[in-house]
Amino acid sequence: MSAPADLVVTGIGVVSPLAAMAALAAPPRAGNAAPAPAADAWFDADARLGPRGHKYLPPAARYLLAAAGDALADAGDCLAGIPEERRGAAVGTNHAVAALHARMDRTVISEGADGLSPATAPFFSVNLFGSHLSGRFALKAFNVTVTSPGVAGLEAVQMGLRAVTAGRSALLLAAATEEAREGGTHTDSGAVALVFERRQAATARPVRRHGSCRVRSAFVPPSLLREASGRAQARDRLVAHLAEPGADAPPTHLVLDDSPVAAVAAQAVGATGAAVTYEAVGSGSLRPMLRLAGLLAVARGPARLVSAIAQGHVAWAETRPEDARADGSAPC
């Protein structure tokens, strides 16, 4: 798919009000909403990031830095010996800056551009979230931001792994971060970060190898699905991508909205004969990445995650646990 077999995940960082990482292994059925905490009560920026350096950052930037810090800590001393110019970053988001942009718009309307804060005005560019990440952890090989609706986090993994495969870096930190839109559900806030590195580097130190992960994506034009023939064509194309000759389909978790695109994706997965669980996609790109982190953290065998959204974006990730830890013991 999109990455060589020798790339493994050694670090996972999850910052979310939804659940502890262990609970992510038990997907809720669609329609079962997690209890929402009070706004901002679940994340203590000073405790996670220290007392300085984050006061003027949007919440999604804080979530991203905290998740990345957790992922790098989980990966042990993974940055040692890797030059800064050999460390890459890829970030996916849909709504990380939406609430701030709405406030900026109101300020311009009511006060004019002079009323904008010089500390937050630069965040008119969504790329600044990845820039802060790269600056904090010296990730200088490349820095890419992906904003595809619903699947931006998964596509950040896909693009980042392609860059590593092409020799652009030796280590990848791929992430998704979101802040709930105004009037949205607070549980759509948070961030997920994953550290990928070569298996040879990971086996050289006592760190858990969570497994390998490969991602592909596709676009299904919504207009194609207006006719039965178009729906059949899209389904068959997705089945061709998902079905591996001579192999049983792995257990598959669907993260979907209620659109025709999602319905076709679900039909394609069903045609492969996979055992299926599912949940609603939520707002933004965070939910699929939360589920991917859960699969990598606790899955006992190969697994697949498929996400699809009304705008036509479909992405799927396949995970495979490692057979053993670096110290020779069985995986946790």
pLDDT digits (tens, 9 = 90+) for 143-179: 999 999 999 999 999 999 999 999 999 999 999 999 9
Q: What is the pLDDT of residue 19?
A: 53
> Which residue do the tokens 């839109």 mark?
181
The predicted pLDDT at position 5 comes to 59
Q: Per-residue pLDDT averaged across 238-251, rounded?
A: 87
Query: Which tokens hold the place of 147?
Result: 């904003």
Question: What tokens appear for 186 in the block?
Answer: 């607070």
Tokens coding 235 = 């389904």
List C-alpha distances in Å: 87 to 72, 80, 264. 12, 11, 38
Q: Are 208 and 77 in contact (CB under 8 A)?
A: no
Q: Is the dihedral of CA 98, 104, 108, 111 positive or negative?
A: positive
Residue 105 has pLDDT above 70, yes or no: yes
Confidence of residue 185 (pLDDT cuts 50, 70, 90): low
Which one has a higher pLDDT value, 187 or 283? Answer: 283
Q: Does the pLDDT at position 66 exceed 70? A: yes
Extract the tokens encoding 326.
């670096």
Predicted confidence band of residue 98 (pLDDT cuts 50, 70, 90): confident
Structure tokens at 177: 């971060």
| CA–CA dist 298, 291 (Å, integer) | 11
Q: pLDDT class for 94, splitting at 50, 70, 90?
A: very high
The pLDDT value given to residue 21: 41
Give the Cα-Cα-Cα angle 261, 266, 272 (nearest 5 degrees). 135
* pLDDT for 202 beyond 70: yes
pLDDT at residue 184, rounded to an integer: 66
Does the structure show a pLDDT above 60 at 20?
Answer: no
Mean per-residue pLDDT over the chain, rounded: 87
For the beta carbon of residue 48, count every other beta carbon within 10 angstroms.
16
Please state the rounded mean pLDDT for residues 5-14.
91
Q: Model-level pTM?
A: 0.88
**Residues 285-301 pLDDT 10s:** 999 999 999 999 987 89
Domains and CATH numbers, the chain: 7-203 (3.40.47.10), 212-320 (no CATH)
Q: Is the pLDDT of residue 25 over 60?
A: no
pLDDT at 326 over 50: no
> What's the one-letter identity of residue 317?
A
Q: Which tens digit of pLDDT belongs to each residue from 126-140?
A: 888 999 999 999 999
Q: Which of 103, 23, 109 is nearest to 59 (CA)?
A: 103
Q: What DSSP character marks residue 66?
A: H
- Mean per-residue pLDDT, 213-239: 96
The reported pLDDT for the residue numbered 183 is 67
Give me the pLDDT at residue 30, please.
45
- Whole-number Å distance between alpha carbons of 239 and 112: 53
Helical axes 152-165 vs 286-298, angle rounded to 10°: 60
Q: Do 217 and 155 meet the contact criterion of CB atoms below 8 Å apart?
A: yes
Helix (H) or strand (E) holding 157: helix 152-165
Q: What is the pLDDT of residue 24?
A: 47
Give mean pLDDT, residues 205-224: 94
Q: What is the pLDDT of residue 51?
A: 82
Torsion of CA 136, 41, 194, 139, to 10 degrees: -10
Closest CA to 271 of 300, 234, 303, 298: 234
Instruction: Report the pLDDT value the prediction gives residue 4, as an integer from 0 to 100.
Output: 55
